[in-house]
Chain A
Amino acid sequence: MPEAILEVRDLVKHFPVQVGVLFKRTIGHVKAVDGVSFDLARGETLGVVGESGCGKSTLAQVLMRLEKATSGTVRFEGRDIFGLAGQELRRLRRDIQIVLQDPYTSLNPRMTVGDLVGEPFEIHPDVAPKGERRRKVQELLDVVGLNPEHINRYPHQFSGGQRQRIGIARALALRPKVIICDEPVSALDVSVQAQVMNLLDTLQAEFDLSYVFIAHDLSVVRHLSDRVAVMYLGKVVEIGTDEQIYEHPTHPYTQALLSAVPVPDPELRGRREVIRLTGDVPSPVNPPSGCRFRTRCWKARDVCAQEEPALVDRLGHPSACHFAEEHPHVAVG
């Protein structure tokens, strides 16, 4: 495996649940991220997939150091990001950037596009001298496929896809090495999704970027990612290369997610089994004992409630299931 730019080890983020007006008592913890480990290689795209509420976005916040982790480490180029402060932290901000999910709230409505994309340069004045900033902003707009003459427009004058391009231009401004994409296309129309995905793909090659690409939909991630991690209730349940996850999934949850991906070919449609999960995602405040997926799993046995399955190599790649096996007719080939 090539050199890892980002190493995440046993990352845990719990949010305290508090009651009381003046004197707050902690009555529990939302276990949003509960022991996540992975490596991101230079130039690689790691897809992170899971249902709403499984902790994907919290993971993004912690990787950005917008939230402090409860425990665990994140190493960027070998240095623990939680140990950084002051100048070093500012330096880190230049290397890791984020593209947020909702293009309608991620841009300040009272700033012009020029101000929005130019703000990184104001915060990090050493990146571009004052006189050059406007040219740099226009270059960036050009790179993401927007008209550089539109610097005086406001976000509301753009469509969702164009706004997301503005968000991408802002993230690119500091020439980061890693970009965390927190569901960057899930708020967009399908036709626009493809354009933005292609743009991200082109930019990766052009600027030598590594992506952590978060999505709730396996089909979106496949287009871009080299490896995929599937998350459920704060834990990674299966991780592997594109081929391992899409063609040889071994965890029941991955199989269920895959079986829900629409198949464009009508010939194949009838031949595939759709696994319908019953019930809701359990509360992350009080997750099930043992395997967290057991309450919705058709394979669940007694052992699943007693013993938590470790994320170890089973049938060729890491999968956290006691009964890991391939399931016929779910893989999208």
Chain B
Amino acid sequence: MSDPAVVAADEPELEQIVTGKQDKPRSLGSDAWHELRRKPTFLISLILILIVVAMALFPGLFTHVSPTAADLNHARGGPSAQAWFGYDVQGSDVYARAIYGTRASLLVGVFATLGTVLIGGIVGIVAGFYGRWTDSLLARFADIFAGMPFVLGAIVIMLTLNAPGSNPGETRILSQVVFSIAVLSWPVAMRIMRAATLVAKQQDYVKAARGLGAGPLRIIFRHLLPNTVAPVMVYATIALGANIGAEATLAYLGIGLRPPVVSWGVMISDARDYVAAAPHILLFPAAFVSVTVLAFVMLGDAVRDAFDPKSR
């Protein structure tokens, strides 16, 4: 606004939008969608995410090799025409394992992040908005979880839920992994949300809304949330990658997913001792994690920008 050149460049386009669809009031949501559809980063990240989701849902479309078939003759064999990504320590096809590992990794990554952000976001906005003793109570409660080291906390939770020696199914382990990650990492999201809410709550537009007679729900959803969600979203995109890694940590400790279930995290932790001898065993699953995280980061960025009218 302070830069005249920017205003001048903006003006004709705006004028056109305003006069062109003059009779249709638009909302932030429809403006954001209009903006997103033309954004290359959004489209690229969306395509990448769709591919990853397709791999998770229908791994058979991408490979005919079984991820569990192993031939020790091929152990640590490099990439070739038979196995594009080479073979791992057990002589299994790395490509097939990476494809079949998508489902568990994506489920853990997405749902643990969703859980973290939802629990943290709700508790954070409630603590920030209501303040006083509600805030003190919720903040101390969050400190209990934040104070627990992740690995220790996860071991306690997983061993409590599964008696040692038991052999729970894949779905059960997956949901327990998601649960332990979400329960142990929501305080971070809560603090980010609380801080953002405390700032937004002081703004005059909240005062004006209260003066108009707006109730707490309207203030939270209409005025606070749109202005506080951005920093939490940035955290979420980072947390997504970290959560896929956290699943690997639990697998390595023997309390997470276990064979024959495959995940990128399991593959990375299997490859750990052979990095120098056979780097491809580590690099390919790591690349899958990186590209997936990158796609979500780009998506988060694009969505955040689209919902900030000032960045248009």
Contacts and interface: CB of A to CB of B under 8 A. Distances in A.
Contact of A64 (B18, B25, B136, B211): B211
A61 to B, nearest CB: 8
A152 B17 contact: yes
Given A22-B136, A149-B19, A149-B22, A111 B212 contact: no
Chain B interface helix/strand/loop/mixed: helix
B227 A66 contact: no
A153 B18 contact: yes
Given A123-B212, A123-B213, A157-B1, A106 B205 contact: yes
Interface residues of A, number: 41
A167 interface: yes
A119 B213 CA distance: 10
B258 interface: no
A119 B27 CA distance: 12
B3 interface: no
Task: With a 10 A CB-CB cut-off, give which of B18, B204, B210 has the most chain A CB atoms.
Answer: B204
Contact of A110 (B26, B214, B226): B226
B17 A108 contact: no
B211 A93 contact: yes
B309 interface: yes
A254 interface: no
Interface size class of B (residues with CB under 8 A): 35 or more
B72 to A, nearest CB: 59
24 contacts: A21-B136, A22-B140, A66-B211, A93-B211, A94-B213, A98-B207, A100-B204, A106-B203, A107-B208, A108-B209, A108-B227, A110-B226, A110-B308, A112-B26, A115-B27, A119-B212, A119-B214, A123-B214, A123-B218, A149-B18, A149-B19, A150-B18, A152-B26, A156-B309
Interface of A: 21-22, 61, 64, 66, 89-90, 93-94, 97-98, 100-102, 105-112, 114-115, 119-120, 123-124, 134, 149-154, 156-157, 159, 167, 170, 174
Interface of B: 1, 10, 14, 17-19, 21-22, 25-28, 31, 136, 140, 203-205, 207-214, 218, 222-223, 226-227, 307-310
Given A94-B213, A105-B203, A157-B1, 9 more contacts: A21-B136, A22-B136, A90-B213, A101-B204, A109-B309, A111-B222, A115-B28, A156-B1, A156-B310
